[in-house]
């Protein structure tokens, strides 16, 4: 079929891979184009083959599923990744989506539900729990979860260099924490206009259109400045800036 959804299965258990293959190949609109037994192989295979969706186990040798997802999305951002795991943990869902996954499910998901998720993510949507989200909805979910979990990073996430200055990173951290421009100005003891100028510079450097996109850009790249674990490093408790 010309409109088949092509799938790679990445899991280090051959029996589980075969079970998934049997489920998917019972649907005419789905085609399994490869199986990988570790993270490195999954990334390499996804680069070599015409694939729409990768089913990615978390616990695999060499490179785990979250690391493989991040690598794959950097190389082929159009490929959707569905993370499958034995552990349905809320914080791991957050880190999987940050890494670039389009969906996250425990391995006890029903075959019918998994097929529905594959079809959904192949159309550019995202599945988080029982929610189906578009890009804007996913960004809002990510920011809400970042505030819930403190913006922290996992030890297995690589740290990326930022093009932003220390002050710009500080302001971006306060955006992630949910502060408005006026609240950031008050928190840092600078003028409202200065905050606006910094944000304009941040958006330009990152090539994004708004504050939400800038915050999500930082989260998905695993940036871990000091503000990720508490107060911004240079925060001052001054009164509101004069003249603003």
Each residue's pLDDT tens digit, 59-85: 888 888 988 999 999 899 999 999 998
Is the model's pLDDT at 56 over the cut of 80? Answer: yes
- Per-residue pLDDT, 165: 84
| Whether residue 35 is found in the same domain as residue 117 | yes
In a domain, 155, yes or no: no
| Whether residue 65 is found in the same domain as residue 120 | yes
**Residue 185 maps to which CATH number?**
1.10.10.10
Band (120; pLDDT cuts 50, 70, 90): very high
What is the pLDDT of the chain when averaged over all its residues?
84
Radius of gyration in angstroms for the set of CA atoms belonging to the chain, rounded to a whole number: 20
| Whether residue 207 is found in the same domain as residue 92 | no
In a domain, 139, yes or no: no
- Per-residue pLDDT, 48: 93
What percent of the chain has a predicted confidence (pLDDT) above 70? 84
Band (132; pLDDT cuts 50, 70, 90): very high
Which residue range is the domain that position 39 belongs to?
5-133
- Bridge partners (DSSP) of residue 103 are 82, 127
Is the model's pLDDT at 240 over the cut of 50? Answer: no
| Whether residue 170 is found in the same domain as residue 129 | no
Q: What's the token pair of residue 105? A: 């499910």
Encode pLDDT of 159-205 as tens digits: 455 688 888 888 988 888 888 999 999 999 999 999 999 999 999 98
As a whole number of angstroms, the distance between CA 55 and CA 29 comes to 16
- Per-residue pLDDT, 166: 82
Specify the number of domains making up the chain.
2
The arithmetic mean of pLDDT across residues 139-166, rounded, is 68
| Whether residue 181 is found in the same domain as residue 75 | no
Of the residues 91, 111, 133, which one is the last residue of a structural domain?
A: 133
Contacts of 24 (CB under 8 A, 6+ apart): 7, 9, 30, 31, 32, 115, 118
The arithmetic mean of pLDDT across residues 225-240, rounded, is 40
**Residue 66 maps to which CATH number?**
3.40.50.2300
pTM exceeding 0.75 = no
- Per-residue pLDDT, 2: 53
In a domain, 156, yes or no: no
As a whole number of angstroms, the distance between CA 216 and CA 214 comes to 6
| Whether residue 29 is found in the same domain as residue 100 | yes
């Amino acid at each position: 079929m010309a409109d088949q959804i092509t799938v790679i299965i990445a899991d280090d258990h051959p029996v589980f891979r075969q079970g998934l293959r049997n489920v998917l190949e019972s649907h005419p609109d789905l085609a399994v184009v490869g199986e990988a037994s570790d993270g490195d192989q999954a990334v390499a295979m996804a680069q070599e083959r015409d694939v729409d969706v990768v089913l990615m186990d978390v616990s695999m040798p060499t490179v785990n599923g979250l690391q493989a997802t991040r690598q794959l999305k950097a190389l082929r951002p159009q490929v959707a990744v569905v993370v499958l795991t034995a552990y349905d943990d809320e914080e791991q869902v957050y880190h999987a989506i940050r890494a670039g996954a389009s969906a996250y499910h425990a391995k006890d998901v029903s075959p019918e539900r998994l097929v529905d998720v594959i079809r959904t993510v192949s159309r550019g949507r995202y599945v988080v729990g029982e929610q189906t989200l578009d890009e804007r909805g996913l960004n809002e979910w990510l920011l809400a979860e970042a505030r819930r979990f403190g913006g922290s990073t996992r030890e297995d996430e690589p740290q990326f260099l930022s093009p932003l200055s220390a002050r710009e990173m500080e302001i971006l951290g306060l955006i992630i924490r949910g502060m408005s421009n006026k609240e950031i100005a008050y928190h840092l003891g600078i003028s409202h206009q200065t905050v606006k100028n910094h944000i304009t510079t941040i958006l330009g450097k990152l090539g994004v259109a708004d504050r939400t996109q800038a915050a999500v850009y930082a989260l998905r790249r695993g940036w871990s400045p000091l503000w990720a674990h508490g107060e911004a490093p240079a925060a001052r408790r001054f009164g509101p800036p004069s003249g603003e």
